[in-house]
Amino acid sequence: MRRKLDTAARREQIAQAALDLVSEGGLRALSMSNLAGKVDLVPSGIYRHFTGKGELMDAVLDLIGRRLFENTASVREETEDALGRLRLLMRREMELLKKNQGVPNVVFSESMCADSPERAARVGRLVSAYFGEIEEIVREGQRKGELRNDVEPLAVVLMFKGILLPAVVLWKATGGTLDIARHSEAAWRLFRDAVTPRREE
């Protein structure tokens, strides 16, 4: 017999299914009828958990946020070294984006926020808070002399984010032909050399 999920777990399951639909077919693929089929409900069953598509998209954003911040928390627990944290974070984010290719569609889509200034602001807060977490890792590394302190932390973060996001977009656009792991490791070496303090000869 299938175990009945509690309300919070069911909402998360539906939000994940919505993200899966976006990963498979973009935002245009997300409809209540398609979503209901994904989670084995009738469309009216979705409305028992969400008042409409707007609330559903907010839940998808919350889900993405939780996954991102779980990653930053886990790398902090696993190592105290700033470069080690950033490398682990790159790998965690690569896995997250490979499994949830719709994340960039949700976070960076103008159409998703076109009818909701509140949602646009919500996306802005999510991105700002996530970048802030990475900036703090960079600042800590700068204070300990592990990272160059003659560059702005945000500049380091933007360079770091540039390792993966464009590659994931290209990987998806080319049907998965780009070897993201190989690309990211090569780009990581360039990033590491750029942000590591130069040693005196």
pLDDT digits over 19-37, tens only? 999 988 888 888 888 999 8
Query: HEC profile for 78-130?
Result: HCCCHHHHHHHHHHHHHHHHHHCCCHHHHHCCHHHHCCCHHHHHHHHHHHHHH
Percentages (nearest 5) of helix, strand, coil residues in the chain = 75, 0, 25
Taking the C-alpha atoms of residue 154 and residue 134, their distance in angstroms, rounded to an integer, is 9
What is the rounded distance in angstroms from the CA atom of residue 95 to the CA atom of residue 44?
33
Domain 7-195: which CATH number of 3.40.50.970, 3.30.70.3270, 1.10.357.10, 2.70.98.10: 1.10.357.10
The mean pLDDT value for 71-97 works out to 95
Cα–Cα dist 97/119, whole Å = 21
pLDDT at 158 over 50: yes
Nearest to 32 by CA among 17, 61, 107, 115: 17
CA dihedral (109, 113, 119, 124) positive or negative:
positive
pLDDT at 165 (0 to 100) = 83
Crossing angle for the helix pair 82-99 and 117-143, nearest 10 degrees?
Answer: 150
Distance, CA of 89 to CA of 161 (rounded, Å): 10
Per-residue pLDDT of 171-193, as tens digits, reads 877 877 888 888 889 999 999 99
User: Tokens 């190592």 correspond to what residue?
Assistant: 79
- Cα→Cα distances 133→73, 163, 191, Å: 9, 17, 18
Q: What pLDDT sits at residue 13? A: 93
Looking at this protein, which amino acid is placed at residue 96?
L
Among residues 92, 112, 97, 105, the alpha carbon closest in space to that of 165 is found at 97
What 8-state DSSP symbol labels residue 28?
A: G
Q: State residue 170's pLDDT score.
A: 82
Could you tell me which residue, 19 or 120, shows the higher pLDDT?
Answer: 19
Structure confidence by residue, pLDDT tens digits, 28-82: 888 888 999 899 889 888 999 998 888 999 999 999 999 999 999 999 999 999 9
* Residue 132 predicted with pLDDT over 80: yes
- Per-residue pLDDT, 5: 60
Q: What confidence score (pLDDT) does residue 29 get?
A: 87
pLDDT of residue 4: 54
